[in-house]
Structure 1
Amino acid sequence: MIGWTKGFLKKVARRYFVYDHHIRMAKNLASAANRRLLKTRFDVIVAPASLAQVAFLETDIPVIIVEDATFALLLDYYPQYSDMLSHSIEQMQAVTVRGMRKASALVYSSAWAAQSAINEYHINSRKVYVVPMGANFDDPPDEEIIERKKRSGICKLLFVGVDWQRKGGEIAFETLLALAQIGVPAELTVCGCTPPKNRSHPAMKIIPYLDKNEPLHYEKLAQLYQEANFLLLPTRNECFGIVFCEANAFGLPVITACTGGVPEIVRNGKNGFVLPLDARGDAYALLIASLYRDEALYAQLVLSSRAAYDERLNWDNWGIAMNDIITNVLCRRVVRHEVSRQVVG
């Protein structure tokens, strides 16, 4: 019934209704979780992207929320959070606020998102943390392989994304054409989506879909990262971008756009470059050409890109930070209980 309602509203009212963050749905989700919590003892609840699921939980178990953005940031930023019904906005804000207040800690992948929780939702900064996420590859190449990575005879650009428009596919295509105009032989591999029919080029290869859960697809994607010279993703909307972490794991520099949390992940001259959001293909082409033509500069950028993965953008670091956060949350709970016991006593 809820799914039908969503489709009905989108068709008739021409606006979106985010049904999974409706108060009624949030209460149903919490009810199911409450029944499970009665059966098993837990010390802490870690809830990735689950504000709606925890908003109405009936438990004193500490809850740690893991998110890459707040609703305030998503509203009118991502297409699916634009043109929303006012009732849906009210419902989602109510669920968001209740979930945030329920949480003992909120972990965000960027300061861009964390500051929104503090400034726009008035969450105590003591329970807000910033922990970048990592690359979804179990076995990235050894550093020795990265050190041997050289620029290829043709500048190989890799575009990885499921949404051609949102990920900046038009600008990536413009970049390919602009590189040819300034005398840089290049090829563009598009992985994860199919460009419009009028966006074709002899130097553009399209791989519509790869599933990392399939061993052959996993190996193919790893090969694409390994063989490319740059990850080119002029994304229009991005909260974090695990694809950037994956590229850096292969020593692949990232060329992207300044939006959302991206400038915190990709640092100019370290693991790639971030161009202004209004930059078009000619600007991307000039930057890529300057890096590609300087062999020593490119080699250094490859090494510093892998260093960004080793030092910041991997799940081991995320796990260590999360362990510290969980420990802090549990310690604070013990202290509160002890203070409460002494007051009662």
Structure 2
Amino acid sequence: MTDRPLKIAYLCDITPLDTNLYSGGNARMYQALQRHGGEVTILSNSWHMAEPLRRLMHVLPEALNLRMRWRLHLLLGRLIARGVRRELAQGDFDVLFCAYSIQSMAGVGRLGAVVSAFTTDATPTTYKQSQVGQSFGSYLSASRYLDPWIARQEKRVLNDLDLILSPTHWLRDGIENTFAIADERVQIIPWGANIDPVATCEDINPLRSGAPVELLFVGRDWHSKGGPLALAVLAGLQTQDLPAHLTIIGCAPEGVEAGADIKIYPQLDKSKPDDMAIFEIAFKHAHFLINPSFESFGFAFCEASAYGLPSLAFRVGGVPVKDRVNGHALPLGSSADNFVAVISDYVANPVTHTALRKTARTEYETHLNWDAWGRAVMDQLRSRVADKR
């Protein structure tokens, strides 16, 4: 296995220099590969000979652009891939690493001595066929007629890859069940928190009997992230004469007003020191992150673990919450009363909450950070490069 820096070509439909899109995960991956032994070159996200069509897509309303662009990219994959291969030939690369956009690998095929690696939290087909995808329905109802063709294109891409890096068992199982791919090329390496490393968990607010239970909700979409249920849990605690507060970060839900027991921060930019300070105080002050959402991953749960904050979620998709390790993942269909019961048990015995905080922090230090991801991924890449030499 080589110890020299690997020459990595980084491919995505959006530049990893944008720290906001893909919830920041694209940028964090790029940075982690650089830190842990890669000479990383960002390939163009141009469609090369078909570039005028990509630019035309960006003229469309955002909802149509997001849904049509990747499908058209798949359709034109072989044409676009010629440009990708030309860029690879100019760089003498060891690895082609693609993040998120499986369509960017369409038509690229097998690369001989170059290792091809891909990571995402869901492919279009595994997502659409899952409980997560089915819970949201389809914006373009006619798109279902393309589903069999899209699945064939995904399978072709995945079969050509040397390494498939899944952040979750959920995606690994989805790939196996959907595409019958279940070999050592599929490796599970969790993603990390999309914040700079949190050195310690000092100055946290301990849970105490009789003191308010501090709930934290984080998400741009109030409904898809489980906001109404979080609000019902707040009411349920108060009904049981347990004082409780809810802090909402990321949205200003209609019909929900800030007051004595609810704080609302509609938008925080973590790249701005003042906003990041508010974010950090909220996570340190909270006793539970409550995001009962349908997700293929969920960076907020990693960020909660970074602060030793237990998470309450549904057991669905790839949500990185382990029962009694960094929180509780309740069965789908669990009611507000079920979540209230979990919280009440900790209020009655705060020492167990302190223990849960510690194991949540350990989960972050061991798995849910980008340095752990970077080290594990580079080990896999070095091994695959050595096998091809």
Q: Sort the TM-score into its range (normalised by shorter chain).
A: 0.7 to 0.9
Match of 1:3 in 2: 57
Matched, 1:136 2:194: yes
Contact 1:250–1:306 (CA<8 Å) still a contact in 2? Answer: yes
Matched, 1:19 2:69: yes
Aligned match for 1:151, one of 207, 213, 221: 207
Match of 2:235 in 1: 177
Matched, 1:127 2:185: yes
Contact 1:19–1:25 (CA<8 Å) still a contact in 2? Answer: no
- Farther off after superposition, 23-32 or 153-162: 23-32
Structure 1: tracts of 5 or more residues without a match: 11-15, 335-345
Match of 2:283 in 1: 225
Residue aligned with 2:303, SS: helix
Matched, 1:323 2:374: no
Given residue 308 of structure 1, which amino acid in structure 2 is its aligned partner?
E
Match of 1:37 in 2: 88
Q: Distance in 2 between matches of 1:139 and 1:332?
A: 33
Aligned match for 2:248, one of 190, 196, 206: 190
Residue aligned with 1:39, SS: helix
Contact 2:258–2:264 (CA<8 Å) still a contact in 1? Answer: no
Matched, 1:47 2:105: no
Match of 1:310 in 2: 365
Given residue 71 of structure 1, which amino acid in structure 2 is its aligned partner?
P
Instruction: Kindly report which structure 2 residues correspond to 1:53-68, keeping only aligned pairs within 5 A, or say none.
Output: 53-57=104-108, 59-60=111-112, 61-68=114-121
Match of 1:279 in 2: 334
Matched, 1:167 2:228: no
Q: Under a length normalisation based on structure 2, what TM-score does the superposition of the two structures give? A: 0.76
Match of 2:171 in 1: 113
Q: CA deviation at 1:317?
A: 1.4
Identity %: 26
Q: Distance in 1 between matches of 2:288 and 2:268?
A: 19
Question: Cα–Cα, structure 1 residues 247 and 32, in superposed 2: closer, same or farther, change >3 Å?
Answer: same
Contact 1:20–1:26 (CA<8 Å) still a contact in 2? Answer: no
Given residue 179 of structure 1, which amino acid in structure 2 is its aligned partner?
L
Aligned match for 2:311, one of 242, 251, 254: 254
Q: CA deviation at 1:5?
A: 10
Q: Distance in 2 between matches of 1:248 and 1:38?
A: 42
Match of 1:200 in 2: 257
Q: CA deviation at 1:179?
A: 0.7
Q: CA deviation at 1:4?
A: 8.2
Contact 1:72–1:116 (CA<8 Å) still a contact in 2? Answer: no
Q: CA deviation at 1:38?
A: 3.0
- Farther off after superposition, 301-310 or 72-81: 72-81
Q: Under a length normalisation based on structure 1, what TM-score does the superposition of the two structures give? A: 0.85
Q: What is the RMSD of the two structures over their aligned residues, measured on CA atoms? A: 2.5
- Farther off after superposition, 273-282 or 127-136: 273-282
Matched, 1:209 2:267: yes
Contact 2:125–2:147 (CA<8 Å) still a contact in 1? Answer: no
Higher relative contact order (CA 8 A, sep 6+): 2
Given residue 182 of structure 1, which amino acid in structure 2 is its aligned partner?
Q
Structure 2: tracts of 5 or more residues without a match: 1-52
Question: Cα–Cα, structure 1 residues 253 and 9, in superposed 2: closer, same or farther, change >3 Å?
Answer: closer
Q: Distance in 1 between matches of 2:335 and 2:379?
A: 42
Match of 1:266 in 2: 321
Contact 1:6–1:18 (CA<8 Å) still a contact in 2? Answer: no
Q: Distance in 2 between matches of 1:8 and 1:180?
A: 41
Q: Distance in 2 between matches of 1:206 and 1:118?
A: 42
- Farther off after superposition, 94-103 or 26-35: 26-35
Q: Distance in 1 between matches of 2:183 and 2:290?
A: 35
Q: CA deviation at 1:72?
A: 2.9
Given residue 206 of structure 2, which amino acid in structure 1 is its aligned partner?
K
Question: Cα–Cα, structure 1 residues 9 and 65, in superposed 2: closer, same or farther, change >3 Å?
Answer: closer
CA deviation profile, 1:57-106 (whole Å, cap 9, x unmatched): 26432210011123333115333756451344244323312221221110
Question: Cα–Cα, structure 1 residues 85 and 299, in superposed 2: closer, same or farther, change >3 Å?
Answer: same
